[in-house]
Amino acid sequence: MSTTPLAAPRRATITDVAREAGTGKTSISRYLNGEMSVLSPELRARIEAAIERLNYQPNQMARGLKRGRNRLIGMLLADLTNPYSVEVLQGVEAACHALGLMPLICHAANEVEMERRYLQLLTTYRVEGVIVNALGVREETLRPVGGGGIPAVLVDRSVDGLVADMVGLDNRAAAELGTRHLLDNGFDDIWFVVQPFEQVSSRQLREAAFREVMSGAGGTSSDARGHTLVLNLAEPVAVERALAELDRAIDAADGPGDAVASVTGNATGNATSSVTVRTGGKGGRIALFAANAPVALCLALHLKARYGADWQARVALLSIDDPEWAELTGITAIRQPTYEIGYRAVEFLHERIEGVQTTARDCLLPGELIVRASTLR
Amino acid sequence: MSTTPLAAPRRATITDVAREAGTGKTSISRYLNGEMSVLSPELRARIEAAIERLNYQPNQMARGLKRGRNRLIGMLLADLTNPYSVEVLQGVEAACHALGLMPLICHAANEVEMERRYLQLLTTYRVEGVIVNALGVREETLRPVGGGGIPAVLVDRSVDGLVADMVGLDNRAAAELGTRHLLDNGFDDIWFVVQPFEQVSSRQLREAAFREVMSGAGGTSSDARGHTLVLNLAEPVAVERALAELDRAIDAADGPGDAVASVTGNATGNATSSVTVRTGGKGGRIALFAANAPVALCLALHLKARYGADWQARVALLSIDDPEWAELTGITAIRQPTYEIGYRAVEFLHERIEGVQTTARDCLLPGELIVRASTLR
DNA sequence: CTGTTAGCGCCTTCAT
DNA sequence: ATGAAGGCGCTAACAG
């Protein structure tokens, strides 16, 4: 209704309130900090009124400066574009809310340089702790943080050389779960597709677990073959090359009866070639195991472009991460307990901030397999 | 390599640096603020060295307290789950980066109460301005902000009663673009599906523009029918009901030549069964115009569940917003210039912070139609 | 060119 | 139960 007044002179300070309430700053401060028991009901009422009248709101910065803690924590995200991040964030926010913390969210957009800058910026704002889910974090990058005295907890990936709490998916179990599912459903030619994993512990673990299960399966079941394909999403040409390799395998695997030889190598140039001989039947349908949602999306888009809307008839797709389009497209997925990951991360951090000195803890949460049409039969 | 030292005594202060450099705080301060021209090269070098040695990093909070500005701006998002928000955010971050601002990102998770709390919290941290993309913002909610003296710029929606800059999609043009596209491609039964739009200006505008075009079309072309369907995503039962209504329409419109009776009920048990007799030709295919991505996703999921993977053969889907799964599923979309929206918002805000006093400005950016298989033929 | 002196808004002894 | 004084880390006049 009424137009808001344009006059916005200057926010009331504690001094203003004191004057308005006819008392000293100390009492106001006490009121603000909830030390009610030490204030006469009378004074308390006056203060309350003054605050109301002046629409006073304490300046967090000033409080922080004085008491040394500003209730700010940093949350460094490598990639908000990844639904995983947003979901984790929800948990983080909920926990912060519950613990009276304010998360400073920083989005590095997959740029290592950004990560460094943000970390340094957070430090500059004297955040009380940091939750890190970054790409290029190396021990030295985090030095100003982990070492500099401000507590840090890692999400999804650990950083070697840096001892810190970390919380994330139980990668081994998840990769095993997925691989077994594929094997159990008769797929004997499985491609694990993952972004460059040398630097990222979670990817490493997933890939290793996949390989382990596959090699075990080789002995047990007929002769399942497992391949690892690296998909460097940041390098379009590398992606091209990797996908082409995949296409060859798919084409070769398709169709019944006749034997086909396929030579494959990985994208890093450090080619790991493998020769496989198919023996046919419907069972020849290849299965793709995407290490995370971005990879799965890339694969799905490519396959759809190449084989048409019906691409799933030729290839099965399973992904770690359960993005919103998974249900729509019918791919099976391993959903991460993202919300809880975020929540726990904050809890850990909070404990550290409160001075807990335990040795670094790891919290590995289980993933949930969501079977959809893609990997059945 | 080396384990990070656990000793993390206390961050160096400007005083420490001064002592270390054998000079006064003022010079340090000058150095920090880039007033190099006023420092002897010699002193400057000593300062540089001292800072390096102590790994000193100025305390932003303290600076902010003193100079009255902390370079912090608030960014209130109604729903980070909506890809739109994340994309806008990227623009915001880029702009902040360029302008030396630090965005404090707040995610209200579609809860009006949260929005209020965050707004108040931001105020408490003395942010210099706020970018608001909220759900339940009413003039009074923003009072502490817009009126309280701290500049605000609105994104995507305007708030009546509140005069402030706003930047967003040119909703009228976008809705027209989409509707015309549908009409041009022979669809004569179009459903505009939107979340409750009484409170949200952008939704209102889109719906109105849709209706306008449709009524115009009724006169010109044959006799196109336009419907508006409200989908309250927050109310599962309401969603059920709305989707059931849609199903009826789809069943009725479908199929060529021969008459077919189909009985349908929805899953809630609260069955709204309907017997329909199809009469039409291919032209009878209904088109759905989703007002944004969340709506489109909801529709797509439902349709897929009801009509199977081939649902697009029965219904065409066009959406404002171009989520990552749009390409995958082949629906046509109107992509918003999200990045630019975010970028401009920050620019506006920055100007306000710098004291620009112009009357409230609106910046309406055009959407881009991306035609895909769904709405062709 | 460089250092001294006051605060910014708040919390915290320490008296009263 | 209440208030006065000092200081958190930094900047901004003023002197030298």
Q: Averaged over A178-197, what is the pLDDT?
A: 95
Contact between B61 and A59 using a beta-carbon 8 Å cutoff:
no
pLDDT confidence of residue A160: 77
pLDDT confidence of residue B377: 73
Residue B39: nearest nucleotide (C-alpha to C1'):
C1
With an 8 Å Cβ cutoff, is B113 touching chain A? no
Through-space separation of residue B73 CA and nucleotide C13 C1' in angstroms: 35
Contact between B161 and A1 using a beta-carbon 8 Å cutoff:
yes
Q: Which domains does chain B have, with CATH numbers?
A: 14-58 (no CATH), 71-169+338-365 (3.40.50.2300), 171-335+368-375 (3.40.50.2300)
pLDDT confidence of residue B258: 36
B86, B297, B311, B352: which to substitute to probe chain A, counting the most A Cβ within 10 Å?
B86
Q: Which residues contact A187 (CB under 8 A, 6 or more apart)?
A: A224, A283, A285, A286, A287, A316, A375
A104-108, A218-222, B63-67: segment of lowest average pLDDT: A218-222
Size of interface A-B (CB pairs under 8 A): 138
Q: Which candidate, A166, A168, A193, places its Cα nearest to that of A178?
A: A193
A51-60, A78-87, A213-222, B15-24: segment of lowest average pLDDT: A213-222
Pairing of strands B274-277, B165-169: unpaired
Q: What is the pLDDT of residues B291-344, one digit of tens each?
A: 999 999 999 999 999 999 999 999 999 999 999 999 999 999 999 999 999 999
State how far residue A324 is from chain B, nearest Cα, in angstroms.
8
The string of DSSP codes covering A286-354 is EEEEESSHHHHHHHHHHHHHHH-TTGGGTEEEEEES--HHHHHHT-EEEE--HHHHHHHHHHHHHHHHT
CA–CA separation, B191 and B2 (whole Å):
64
Q: Where is pLDDT greater, at A113 or A175?
A: A175
Through-space separation of residue B115 CA and nucleotide C9 C1' in angstroms: 26
State how far residue A120 is from chain B, nearest Cα, in angstroms.
9
Q: What is the pLDDT of residues A324-342, one digit of tens each?
A: 999 999 999 999 999 999 9
Considering only residues 62-91 of protein chain A, which place a Cβ less than 7 A from any atom of strand C? 62-63, 65-67
Residue in chain B nearest A1 by alpha carbon = B161
CA–CA separation, B182 and A70 (whole Å):
54
Q: How confident is the model at residue A113 (pLDDT cuts 50, 70, 90)?
A: confident
CA–CA separation, B187 and A84 (whole Å):
38
Position A241 pLDDT exceeds 50? yes
- B contact residues 138-167, partner A, Cβ 8 Å cutoff: 139, 143-144, 146-150, 161-163
State pTM to two decimals.
Answer: 0.88
Q: What is the pLDDT of residues B57-110, one digit of tens each?
A: 999 999 999 998 899 999 999 999 999 999 999 999 999 999 999 999 999 988
Contact between B107 and A124 using a beta-carbon 8 Å cutoff:
no
Q: Which candidate, B285, B377, B373, places its Cα nearest to that of B329?
A: B373
Which one-letter amino acid corresponds to residue A327?
Answer: E
With an 8 Å Cβ cutoff, is A3 touching chain B? yes
